[in-house]
Structure 1
Amino acid sequence: MKAKRIILLASACSVLGLAGCTLGPDFQVPATPLGAHWQQPDASATRSRAVPGDVDSQWWRSFGDPQLTALLAEAQANNLDLRVAASHVEQSIAARATVTAGRLPSVAATADYSRARGSERGLTDISGKGGKANYNAWSTGLSFDWEADLWGRVRRSAEAADAAVQVSVEEQHAALVSIMAQVARDYIQLRGTQSSLDVTQQNLDIARHSLDLTRARLAQGVATDLEVAQAAALVASIEARVPPLEQQQNVLINALGFLLGRQPGALSAELSPGKAVPAGPTNVPVGLPSELAQRRPDIRRAEADLHAATAAIGIAQADFYPRISLSGNAGFQAMQLSNLGSWGSHAFAFGPSLSVPIFEGGRLQGQLQLRESRQQEAGIAYQRTVLAAWHEVDNALSGYQADQRRHQSLELAVSESQRALASAQQQYAQGSVDFLNVLTVQNALLANQAALVQSTADVSLTLVTLYQALGGGWQQSAQAALAVDDKQL
Structure 2
Amino acid sequence: MNTSISRIALGVCALSLTACTVGPDFHRPAAALPARWEVGQTTPSLSAAPSQIVDGALDPLWWNVFHDAELSSLITRVAHASLDVKTASTRLMQARAARRVSGSDALPSVEGTASYQHARSSQNGLLDVAGLGGKHDFNVWQPGLDASWELDLWGRVRRENESVDADVEASADLRRDVLLATLAETASDYLQLRGVQAQQQIVQQNLEIARHSLALTKIRFTDGVATHLDMAEAAAQVSMIEAQLPLLDNQHARLVNALSFLMAAPPHTLKNELRDAAPIPALPSRVPAGLPSELVERRPDIRVAEARLHAATARIGVAVGDFYPRVTLSANLSLQAMHVGDLDQWSSHMFGVGPALTVPLFEGGRLKGHLALREAQQQEAAIAFQRTVLNAWHEVDNAMSDYDARQSHHDKLAEAVEQNRIALDNAQRQYVAGAADFLNVLTMQQNLLGTQQALAASSTEVAVSLVTLFKALGGGWQTTYPVS
If the TM-score is normalised by the length of the shorter chain, which range does it land in? over 0.9
2:27 corresponds to 1:28: yes
Q: CA deviation at 1:477?
A: 4.4
AA of the residue aligned to 1:269: N
| Partner SS for 2:330 | strand
Distance of aligned partners of 1:476 and 1:305 in 2 relative to their CA distance in 1, 3 Å threshold: closer
**In the superposition, relative to structure 1, how do residues 86 and 379 fare at CA in structure 2: closer, same or farther (>3 Å)?**
same
Q: Do the aligned partners of 1:173 and 1:478 also contact (CA within 8 Å) in 2?
A: no
Q: Give the Å deviation of 1:425.
A: 1.1
In structure 1, what is the equivalent of residue 367 of structure 2?
Answer: 364
Q: Distance in 2 between matches of 1:70 and 1:145?
A: 55
Distance in 2 (CA, whole Å) between partners of 1:253 and 1:478 is 24
Do residues 345 (structure 1) and 353 (structure 2) align?
Answer: no
Residue 402 to residue 443, structure 1, CA distance change in 2 (3 Å): same
Partner of 1:100: 103
Which segment is superposed worse, 257-266 or 120-129?
120-129
Aligned AA (2:51): S
Q: d(CA) in 2 for partners of 1:279 and 1:137?
A: 85
Partners of 1:129 and 1:49 in 2: how far apart?
A: 98
Partner residue, 2:189: 186
Check whether the contact 1:58–1:476 (CA below 8 A) recurs between aligned residues: no
Moved over 3 A (4+): 13-16, 476-480
Query: Does residue 470 of structure 1 match 2:473?
Result: yes
For structure 2, which runs of at least 5 residues remain unmatched after alignment? Answer: 1-11
Cα shift at 1:297: 0.2
SS at match of 1:271: coil
Range moving further from structure 2, 425-434 or 453-462:
425-434
**Does the CA contact (< 8 Å) of 2:22 and 2:155 recur in 1?**
yes
| CA deviations over 1:282-318 (Å, ceiling 9, x no partner) | 1000011111100000000000000000000000001
- In the alignment, structure 1 residue 153 sits paired with structure 2 residue 152: no
Q: How many angstroms does 1:195 deviate by?
A: 0.7
Conserved? CA contact 2:102–2:160, under 8 Å: yes
1:8 counterpart residue number: none
Shift of 1:17: 2.4
Q: What SS does the aligned partner of 1:270 have?
A: coil
State yes or no: 1:56 paired with 2:59: yes
Pick the aligned partner of 2:331 from 315, 328, 332: 328
1:115 aligns with 2:118: yes
1:32-67 deviation line (CA, Å, top 9, x unaligned): 111111112231221011000111100011111111
Q: CA deviation at 1:162?
A: 0.1
Where do 1:250-289 residues align within 5 Å? Answer: 250-289=253-292
1:202 aligned partner, one-letter code: Q
* Aligned mates of 1:469, 1:342 — CA distance in 2: 74
Would you say the 8 A contact 1:181–1:464 is kept in 2? yes
Of 300-309 and 425-434, the range deviating more from structure 2:
425-434
Q: Deviations over 1:192-235 (max 9, x none)?
A: 11111110010000000000000100101111111111111110
- Counterparts in 2 of 1:227 and 1:19: CA distance versus 1, 3 Å: farther
Contact persistence 1:18–1:150 (CA under 8 A)? no
| One-letter code aligned to 1:217 | R
**What CA distance in whole angstroms lies between the structure 2 residues aligned with 1:111 and 1:480?**
46
SS in 2 for 1:472: coil
Equivalence for 2:82: 79
Give the TM-score, by structure 2 length: 0.95
Shift of 1:125: 2.1
2:71 paired residue number: 68
Deviates more, 1:284-293 or 1:472-481: 472-481
Deviation readout 1:249-298 (Å, 9 max, x if unpaired): 11111011110100011111111211111223110000111111000000
Q: Which amino acid aligns with 1:354?
A: L
- For 1:404, the equivalent position in structure 2 comes to 407
SS of match in other structure, 2:211: helix
Match of 1:246 among 249, 261, 264: 249
Deviations 1:442-489 (CA, angstroms, capped at 9, x unpaired) = 0000000010000000000000000000000001644742xxxxxxxx
Contact 2:80 2:482 (C-alpha < 8 Å) held by counterparts:
no
CA RMSD between the two structures: 1.4
Identity %: 51
Instruction: Render the CA deviation track for 1:364-395: whole Å, top value 9, x for unaligned.
Output: 00110110011011000000000000000000
Name 1:291's counterpart in structure 2. Answer: 294
Could you tell me which amino acid in structure 2 is paired with residue 461 of structure 1?
V
Of 284, 308, 312 in structure 2, the residue corresponding to residue 309 of structure 1 is 312
Q: CA deviation at 1:325?
A: 0.5
Letter in 2 for 1:145: S
Could you tell me how far 1:19 is from its partner in structure 2? 6.1
Question: 1:203 aligns to what SS in structure 2?
Answer: helix
Aligned to 1:487: none
Contact 1:24 1:313 in 2 (8 A): yes
Alpha-carbon distance in 1 for matches of 2:440, 2:113: 99
Tell me the CA shift for residue 123 of structure 1: 3.4
Q: Which residue of 1 aligns with 2:3?
A: none
Tell me how far apart the structure 1 counterparts of residues 264 and 72 of structure 2 sit (CA, whole Å).
Answer: 16
CA shift in 2, pair 1:222/1:19, >3 Å: farther
Q: Is the 8 A contact 1:47 1:404 kept in 2?
A: yes
The answer to whether 1:139 aligns with 2:147 is: no
Determine the C-alpha separation between the residues in 2 that align with 1:38 and 1:19.
50
| Contact 1:82-1:172 within 8 A present in 2 as well | yes
* Cα deviation code 1:401-431 (max 9, x no counterpart): 0000111111111111111111111121111
Q: Normalising to structure 1: TM-score of the pair?
A: 0.94
Q: Which runs of 5+ in 1 are unaligned?
A: 1-12, 482-489
Whole-Å separation in 1 of the counterparts to 2:460 and 2:350: 81
What amino acid sits opposite 2:36 in the alignment? H
Q: How many residues align?
A: 470
Distance verdict in 2 for CA 1:125–1:311, change over 3 Å: same
- For 1:237, the equivalent position in structure 2 comes to 240
Contact 1:14 1:20 in 2 (8 A): no
